[in-house]
């Protein structure tokens, strides 16, 4: 009898313990919105809290001069963003009790040239190996005027985003880069009509049919307008017929321009006044890295390794971040969302300077689409 009572008691305790383990502790997050200096707080700002462990997002709308309250949020680490068509803000918040925080909304700089699509994950060969020569960046003219790509530089941030940004002390006024390649030309050689794009390929070939390609690659880049070409080790990188981007800063040991295949590269389009090489002679932080003023940045995209959240760009350049969740070798890309479809067939792409909201992720690459 005593043994039976002990068994019943132990079962009851186990059940109670299980019930307690299943209880999810939830907290409230209150977000106060502040305007940047000299600005007026806008109406109807969307506030989002993303749980960095689960990836789940919690959203609400804040009316001007009021706080936004998000309730029943599980404990954890969150990335909190606030945005509308013009203003952005982002902040990391630890939520292990009811918490109040504040965000200052900053008016983002909108560029004429934007990064429309980035395919960095690469694809998988029939042997199950990674194939990354099919990476590309697509740059789009989102303005109403014909623009010239001559002199436009593509840069990669010096931090991979998998730890705190060591150059955060400079982020409010400049970006720190470890790579810069520039479109060649005298200023009028490469016109880009409104609504048109150009591709910068790692290798400008048909990756699906070329003998050096991958039949399972999702892209044909033989008509790419430009390609990256690494000149540090002559003969190591194959030079295909597409015009080469001009290498201004490429300190790596590698024999090609390879984007981080799990994310980690924050990209920016930059217009550097004057001679680009001369600028780098006087503005290096160390042997491998240089700084560029934020005011020269046309567009920036904060690409992260999935589930990481260590930002590098100031919110005025990109208040959010984006990842291909499927990861390396997945054959997927990130692509900017369409904001407006015009009657003449042209589309305007969304550009709120917040990559979390502006980009689709885990999509099949579609160079030159639309």
What's the rounded Cα separation, in Å, for the pair 352 and 109?
Answer: 9
Q: What whole-number distance in Å separates Cα of residue 295 and Cα of residue 270?
A: 9
The answer to whether the beta carbons of residues 336 and 117 sit under 8 Å apart is yes
Q: What is d(CA 7, CA 58) in angstroms, rounded to the nearest whole number?
A: 44
Helices (H) and strands (E) in the chain, counts: 3, 25
- d(CA 243, CA 226) in angstroms, rounded, equals 5
User: What is the spatial distance between Cα 206 and Cα 208, in angstroms, rounded to a whole number?
Assistant: 5
pLDDT in tens, 230-274: 877 777 788 999 999 999 998 776 778 899 999 989 999 999 999
**Residue showing tokens 């100031």:** 314
From edge to edge, which strands make up the β-sheet containing 76-83? 57-62, 45-51, 76-83, 87-95, 99-107, 26-35, 68-74
Tokens representing 299? 């567009």
Report CA torsion sign: 369, 299, 296, 267: negative
pLDDT of residue 3: 43
Backbone torsions φ then ψ of 7, nearest 5 degrees:
-65, -45
Residue 313: is it exposed, middle or buried by C-beta count within 10 angstroms (0-12/13-18/19+)? buried
Rounded CA-CA distance 206/219 in Å is 7
- Tell me which residue of 135, 115, 129, 161 sits closest to 258, measured CA to CA: 135
| 277 burial level (CB within 10 Å; 0-12, 13-18, 19+) | middle
- Measured between alpha carbons, how far is residue 212 from residues 98, 140, 229, 240 in Å? 57, 29, 16, 12
Sign for the CA dihedral angle at 69, 71, 73, 76 comes to positive
Q: Which residues pair with 32 in a beta bridge?
A: 102
pLDDT digits (tens, 9 = 90+) for 312-325: 999 889 989 999 99
Q: Are the C-beta atoms of 349 and 116 separated by less than 8 Å?
A: yes
pLDDT attached to residue 253: 64
Domains assigned to the chain: 25-107 (2.60.40.1120), 113-363 (no CATH)
Report yes or no: 74 and 37 within 8 Å, Cβ to Cβ: no
Q: Measured between alpha carbons, how far is 181 from 259 in angstroms, rounded to an integer?
A: 13
Q: Which residues pair with 191 in a beta bridge?
A: 148
pLDDT of the residue at 6:
40
Q: pLDDT tens digits for 195-209?
A: 999 999 999 999 999
Segments in the chain forming alpha helices (H):
2-21, 276-282, 355-358
Kindly report the pTM of this predicted structure. 0.76
Closest among 84, 82, 88, 81 to 106, alpha carbons compared: 88
pLDDT value of residue 301: 97
Average pLDDT of each block of 10 consecutive residues along the chain (370 residues)?
A: 44 44 75 80 82 86 78 89 74 89 73 92 97 97 92 96 89 95 96 95 97 97 96 80 94 81 94 96 94 96 85 90 95 93 81 90 95
């Amino acid at each position: 009898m005593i043994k039976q009572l002990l068994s019943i008691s132990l079962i009851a305790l186990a059940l109670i313990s299980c019930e307690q383990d299943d209880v999810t502790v939830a907290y409230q997050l209150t977000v106060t919105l502040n305007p940047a200096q000299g600005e007026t707080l806008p109406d109807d700002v969307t506030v989002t809290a993303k749980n960095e462990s689960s990836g789940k997002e919690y959203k609400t709308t804040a009316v001007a001069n009021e706080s936004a309250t998000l309730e029943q949020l599980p404990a954890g680490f969150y990335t909190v963003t606030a945005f509308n068509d013009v203003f952005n803000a982002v902040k990391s918040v630890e939520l292990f009790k009811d918490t109040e925080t504040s965000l200052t909304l900053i008016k983002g700089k909108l560029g004429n040239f934007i990064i429309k699509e980035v395919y960095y994950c690469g694809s998988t060969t029939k042997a199950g190996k990674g194939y990354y020569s099919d990476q590309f960046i697509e740059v789009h003219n989102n303005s109403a005027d014909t623009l010239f790509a001559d002199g436009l530089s593509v840069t990669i941030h010096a931090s991979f985003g998998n730890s705190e940004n060591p150059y955060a002390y400079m982020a409010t006024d400049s970006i720190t880069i470890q790579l810069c390649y520039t479109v060649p030309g005298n200023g009028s050689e490469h016109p880009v009509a409104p609504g048109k794009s150009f591709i910068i390929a790692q290798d400008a070939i048909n990756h699906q049919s070329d003998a050096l390609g991958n039949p399972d690659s999702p892209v044909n880049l033989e008509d790419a307008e430009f390609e990256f070409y690494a000149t540090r080790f002559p003969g190591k990188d194959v030079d295909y017929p597409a015009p080469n981007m001009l290498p201004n800063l490429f300190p790596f040991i590698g024999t090609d321009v390879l984007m981080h295949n799990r994310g980690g590269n924050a990209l920016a389009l930059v217009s550097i006044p004057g001679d680009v090489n001369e600028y780098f002679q006087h503005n290096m932080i160390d042997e491998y890295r240089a700084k560029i003023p934020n005011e020269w940045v046309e567009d920036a995209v904060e690409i992260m390794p999935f589930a990481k959240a260590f930002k590098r760009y100031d919110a005025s350049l990109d208040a959010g971040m984006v990842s291909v969740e499927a990861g390396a070798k997945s054959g997927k890309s990130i692509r900017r969302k369409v904001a407006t479809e015009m009657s003449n067939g042209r589309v305007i792409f969304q550009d709120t300077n917040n990559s979390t909201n502006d980009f689709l992720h885990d999509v099949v690459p579609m160079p030159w689409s639309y």
